[in-house]
Structure 1
């Protein structure tokens, strides 16, 4: 069975597709970041982190989930809001998300932590940025 969209229904479908795509970004990023976390634990990362001026903390799976899903949801809300009337904004924000992911790679190296912990946390920034870029770009192409 084939479905066609009439011009009147196509714009109404776009925000739903975009929300679905952002949810997919959050889910894929979460799974991959938890995989990075688990693999890093296997090779000795303790995920004990001390931020300047703050007490020590341990980054666990819940923290990984929160710090993955919340930024993606916020970026997704902005993308959905702007993308409703400006489809090109989705393309621009796909690139912005990639840039944020890559430009924040140094952040884990500003905290006191083992090298394996810092590297794993930095990898999570790259993972989320790249997943955001790939899946949002695919949303625009389709």
Structure 2
């Protein structure tokens, strides 16, 4: 009788499914942040080019879902040929999210709104990074 253990392999979802999972998780998390921001008194308006625009839940969901779905497509296509590229694109996504944090902070007349929207950028970037890098190491 042997007492050895069988090799354990990490089985992660395919990249396209990871993208959909990241999109769903980020959308729900950003919707929660939106509600918390509203409850905390953020007026959820931004001023760009002299025009005031209200940020609604639909706006939040659209601006969360669209970029993550659009990022998933090239990631899925490119990472099929080069597995390391998935990790590079995951970190690039987080870098873009961090680089765009100043936009809502600068264009929101109310600091609570700016930081609420900036938090949403960070959530989307971290969820993207996590979804694309989890399970990249194999254990044997």
TM-score (norm: length of structure 1)? 0.84
Aligned residue in 2 for 1:9: none
Q: Which has the higher contact order (CA 8 A, sep 6+)?
A: 2
Aligned CA-pair RMSD: 1.7
Aligned residue in 1 for 2:95: 99
Flag the structure with higher helix content.
1
Alpha-carbon distance in 1 for matches of 2:42, 2:15: 36
Which runs of 5 or more structure 1 residues have no equivalent in the other structure? 1-13
Asked if the contact 1:90–1:140 (Cα under 8 Å) also holds between the matched residues in 2, the reply is: no
Larger radius of gyration: 2
Distance 1:73 1:139, change over 3 A: farther
1:78 to 74, 86, 108: 74
Alpha-carbon distance in 2 for matches of 1:113, 1:87: 43
Alpha-carbon distance in 1 for matches of 2:108, 2:100: 16
Aligned residue in 2 for 1:90: 86
Aligned residue in 2 for 1:36: 33
Alpha-carbon distance in 2 for matches of 1:70, 1:54: 25
Alpha-carbon distance in 1 for matches of 2:111, 2:87: 35
Question: Which structure 1 residue ranges, 4+ long, deviate > 3 Å from structure 2?
Answer: none
Alpha-carbon distance in 2 for matches of 1:98, 1:17: 20
Distance 1:40 1:129, change over 3 A: same
Asked if the contact 1:105–1:126 (Cα under 8 Å) also holds between the matched residues in 2, the reply is: yes
TM-score (norm: length of structure 2)? 0.85
Q: Secondary structure of 1:141's partner?
A: coil
Aligned residue in 2 for 1:141: 137
Q: Say how many residue pairs are matched.
A: 128
- Post-superposition Cα deviations, 1:102-127, rounded to whole Å, max 9, x if no partner, equal 11111112214211000000000100
